[in-house]
Amino acid sequence: TLDVRRMASLKKCVQLSRTTFKQYHMHHATPLISFSNTRNFCSASDDDDTSSSTQTKTSKPMLRTRDTDRQRRGDESNSNTSEESIIHRRSEEEYHKQQAILSELQELKQFIEAHGSAPVALIDRLRTEVLHYNADKTTAMHRCEAMRRIVWLCTKYLSDEQWYHFAINAEMEQLFTQFTATFTQDMAWLTVEEMSDILWVYATLGFRPYALVSKLVNKLDRVLKLHKETFFGYELDKDKSTAAQDDADA
């Protein structure tokens, strides 16, 4: 009798759960698709299936094989080879440039040693290098560098007596008068390097043209002030403190 009662209670529980599930499904389940929309539903489902299949095909990871490893190593070796070739080409260009500079300085040295006792020949060579400067025929970056090279080599390879006759020659004074006029006219286009070369050469030979030197120094001061304002803010702080002091005094 106890087993019969248990079986009856289990049947009631099963029936109650079925009815509860049906009621929940009727209230909360999504409505069924009508027969008129079955064709659209089927086509949409087919499109979804095809798109999902294409996605699975595209998103499928590529298997690693020997060919892929060889191709990857080949790409890496090609990139490394291209970088090495660029570096090698740049080093070759730098080497050839240095060799050209050395050969030109060697040629100037031989000319100075051969014409050390003839200051007029050295002055004519200096005039040609500066006033008739040609970037295609020399490794000097500008005419001021060409001028500095010759004077620097003369200080190294001329004797004291030869240097004395070279520096005090009357044609040298006339030549540097022309240089002064040329550099004063081109003052707006001179770089810091060019101005440094001019000041070094003039100081070495003992020339002090006031108009040229004053303009060079003023331009260098402006460049230095701009450099301080840009990178350090030194002059800006100084100007602010001076303005504040003037306001306080007023």
Would you write out the chain's pLDDT as a tens digit for each of its 250 residues? 556 666 666 666 666 656 655 554 455 444 444 444 444 444 444 445 454 444 444 445 555 566 666 667 666 666 666 666 777 677 888 888 889 999 999 999 999 999 999 999 999 999 999 999 998 889 999 999 999 999 999 999 999 999 999 999 999 999 999 999 999 999 999 999 999 999 999 999 999 999 999 999 999 998 888 877 777 666 555 555 555 555 555 4
Rg, the chain, Cα only: 45
DSSP notation for the chain: -HHHHHHHHHHHHHHHHHHHHHHHHHHHSPPPPPGGGHHHHHHHHHHHHHHHHHHHHHTSPPPP-HHHHHHHHHHHHHHHHHHHHHHHHHHHHHHHHHHHHHHHHHHHHHHHHHTTT-HHHHHHHHHHHHHT--TTS-S-SSHHHHHHHHHHHHHHHS-HHHHHHHHS-HHHHHHHHHHHHHHHHTGGG--HHHHHHHHHHHHHHT---HHHHHHHHHHHHHHHHHHHHHHT-HHHHHHHHHHHHHHHH-
Q: Indicate whether this model's pTM tops 0.75.
A: no
